[in-house]
């Protein structure tokens, strides 16, 4: 659970970061900017801020904002309703982001799992993305990612998003935010 006040502060911070890199949002998009704390209430370490531009039955596009060293926790997008799981292309726009995937563990990785959650991180093949670089994650493939010291802005192009179907390695995680008013 996350408080309304924390959500509003994170929305404003993410909107400032987007503004800084000249990505323009409508007033409504700023109000609707999604703050995902994944139910862990440690947003600075584990979390993600999102602007969903379009999520139709055919395709999806979002802007992802990561605060400095913020981590989107390990998960995969399984097949849904007989179709393939979500495939997504991450394109780094600003800052830097380290993406972790199955495969040979990278020696001396740049990122590390948030303290206290190490058990729930199991893939350690690192792909570094600098501005202008991109990587496509196949369906149903475990992945997690972490921003560098300045944070990161990443465009995501994908097949349709069905967040409620995502499978997280950490059983404590709730993908759909639970916001308390206090």
Residue 77 to residues 99, 155, 174: CA-CA distances in angstroms? 15, 18, 15
Query: Whole-angstrom Cα distance, residue 142 to residue 162?
Result: 16
- Choosing from 23, 80, 128, 167, the residue that interacts with a copy of itself (CB under 8 A) is 23
- Choosing from 21, 31, 105, 179, the residue that interacts with a copy of itself (CB under 8 A) is 21
Q: Is 159 in the site for a copy of itself (CB under 8 A)?
A: yes
Secondary structure letter of residue 1 according to DSSP: -
Q: Which residue has the tokens 């394109």?
A: 91
Q: Is 155 in the site for a copy of itself (CB under 8 A)?
A: yes
Q: Is 25 in the site for a copy of itself (CB under 8 A)?
A: yes
Contacting a copy of itself within 26-85 (CB under 8 A): 26, 29, 53-54, 56, 58-61, 84
Structure-token pair, residue 151: 């944070």
Q: Which CB sits closer to a copy of itself, 84 or 150?
A: 84
Applying CB under 8 A, what is the total number of residues that bind a copy of itself? 29
Q: Which CB sits closer to a copy of itself, 89 or 169?
A: 89
Paired strand residues for 50: 34, 64
Minimum CB distance to a copy of itself, residue 152 (Å): 13
- Choosing from 87, 106, 165, 169, the residue that interacts with a copy of itself (CB under 8 A) is 87
Contacting a copy of itself within 106-135 (CB under 8 A): 131-134
- The answer to whether the CB of 154 falls within 8 A of the CB of 78 is no
Q: Is 19 in the site for a copy of itself (CB under 8 A)?
A: no
Residue 41 to residues 11, 20, 25, 60, 168: CA-CA distances in angstroms? 15, 27, 27, 27, 16
Minimum CB distance to a copy of itself, residue 157 (Å): 4
Q: How many CA atoms lie within 13 A of 26 on its CB side?
A: 5
Burial of 85 (0-12, 13-18, 19+ CB in 10 A): buried
In the complex, the residues that contact a copy of itself under the rule CB under 8 A are 21-26, 29, 53-54, 56, 58-61, 84, 87, 89, 91, 93-94, 131-134, 136, 155, 157-159
């Amino acid at each position: 659970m996350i408080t309304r006040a924390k959500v509003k502060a994170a929305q404003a911070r993410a909107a400032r970061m987007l503004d800084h890199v000249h990505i323009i949002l409508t007033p409504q998009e700023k109000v609707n900017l999604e703050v995902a704390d994944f139910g862990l209430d440690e947003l600075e370490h584990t979390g993600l801020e999102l602007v969903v531009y379009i999520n139709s039955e055919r395709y999806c596009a979002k802007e992802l904002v990561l605060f400095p060293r913020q981590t989107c926790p390990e998960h995969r997008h399984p097949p849904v309703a007989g179709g393939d799981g979500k495939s997504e292309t991450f394109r780094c726009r600003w800052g830097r982001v380290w993406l972790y995937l199955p495969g040979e563990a990278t020696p001396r990785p740049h990122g590390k799992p948030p303290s206290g959650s190490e058990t729930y991180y199991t893939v350690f093949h690192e792909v570094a993305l600098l501005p202008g670089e991109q990587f496509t994650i196949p369906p149903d493939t475990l992945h997690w990612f972490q921003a560098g010291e300045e944070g990161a802005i990443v465009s995501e192009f994908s097949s349709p998003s069905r967040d409620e179907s995502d499978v997280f390695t950490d059983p404590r995680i709730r993908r759909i935010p639970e916001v308390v008013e206090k």
